Amino acid sequence: MEKKPHFVRREFLPREVPSISLALLLAAVLLLNAVLYLYINKFYSSLGRVESDPGLCPFGHFKFGAVKNCSPWLSCEAINREVRKLKCVGEGAVKKVFLSEWKEKKVVLSQLTNSELKEDFLHGLKMLKALQSKYVVRLLGYCEQQFTILTEYHPLGSLRGLNETLHIPKYKGMNTWHRRLMLAIDYVSIIRYLHSSPLGTLVMCDSNDLDKVLSQYLLTSDFHVLVNDLDALPLVNRSAGRLVKCGHRELRGEFVAPEQRWPYGEDVPFEDDLMPPYDEKTDIWKIPDVSNFFLGHVEGSDIVRLHLFDIHAACKKKDPAERPSAQEVLDTYRKVLTLLFREAAMPGTREML
């Protein structure tokens, strides 16, 4: 009997090759997605988001640097005996700030300068104690009788110097769209934390212009953001009908939210008693302007701005009730970061599939 030629192998071989290639490509995409997930998840974890426990110490204690054991907050006696002032590094309306030394470690000593503002100083101390977390500068000790606060030192200083820091040769590698976006995510994470803090909904009132906002935050050596100044942090309590006003003077300019501006026109002189109060959505209004500073003008930053356009437009709604929550802004920022990381890592993958 004559055998029939076997065409089966030759018939299916051309179809198997592209199937194998496609499977390999899909496997590579899945692997890359897994790597991206692990990287971004590690980043979110490093964003500090074990909210109640900096350095894994119980309340009233601290540790920092390579020290393993927790120490109690330094008392008046310990501060007077063990802390040595080195030089004045700043002065504001409420306090003077000194670079100091404690057990051969650099620390920051803040002291009240205006006795008329002692209530603001003590309020800041109260907030600092109650809000200790990975979002807030670490408290090392305090002395209420002498109006003194001791905190951890961060050599890169406030966010006002961010652009100058990123031009230092040592840090030029950090001057990228994704690192800048991560700093913006840090900032929004802090706002979200304050709006859902253990004390309730807190409003960041020391924020009447961009420079003032940036002065309230520190840049850490590992390029994260901490809030440093909590002197003006009033509480919103809607159920009790309690709203806030950021100070007793008229606020002007596009940076502050519309509801923070005098609503009765130029012909009516400003009176604090007639100024309507407002809520935490004033912080949301300011997010796009602060984030725009963070993003700067590096390669890729305009693409980030494009992806954030809709959420930033929502932040600028005139009606505060129509603005998103800080959590919604944070979720969007994280989604954009994930999307852009994926697109940067897999250019053209969609077309290949």
Q: Say how far apart CA 82 and CA 72 lie, in whole Å.
A: 14
Q: List where CATH 3.30.200.20 sits in the chain.
A: 72-153
State the maximum Cα–Cα separation within the chain, in Å, rounded to a whole number.
113
Q: Say how far apart CA 263 and CA 283 lie, in whole Å.
A: 19
Mean pLDDT of 81-99: 93
Q: pLDDT by residue (tens digit) across 172-191?
A: 999 999 999 999 999 999 99
Instruction: Indicate the burial class of 52 (C-beta count within 10 angstroms; 0-12, 13-18, 19 or more).
Output: exposed
Write down the CATH superfamily of domain 154-345: Transferase(Phosphotransferase) domain 1 (1.10.510.10)
> In the CATH scheme, what architecture does the domain 72-153 have?
2-Layer Sandwich (3.30)
Q: At 12, is the pLDDT very low, low, confident or very high (cuts 50, 70, 90)? A: very low
Q: At 19, is the pLDDT very low, low, confident or very high (cuts 50, 70, 90)? A: low
Q: Does the pLDDT at position 137 exceed 70?
A: yes
Contact 102, 140 (CB under 8 A): yes
Q: At 352, is the pLDDT very low, low, confident or very high (cuts 50, 70, 90)? A: very low
208: its two tokens: 């009447």
Q: Which residue has the tokens 């802390």?
A: 83
Q: Say how far apart CA 194 and CA 191 lie, in whole Å.
A: 5
Mean pLDDT of 149-173: 96
Q: What 8-state DSSP symbol labels residue 138?
A: P
Q: Say how far apart CA 137 and CA 216 lie, in whole Å.
A: 11
52: its two tokens: 């109640």
What per-residue confidence (pLDDT) applies to 16? 52
What per-residue confidence (pLDDT) applies to 28? 60
For the chain, give the mean pLDDT.
Answer: 88
Q: List where CATH 1.10.510.10 sits in the chain.
A: 154-345
Q: Does the pLDDT at position 9 exceed 50?
A: no
Contact 71, 61 (CB under 8 A): yes
Q: Say how far apart CA 64 and CA 266 lie, in whole Å.
A: 52
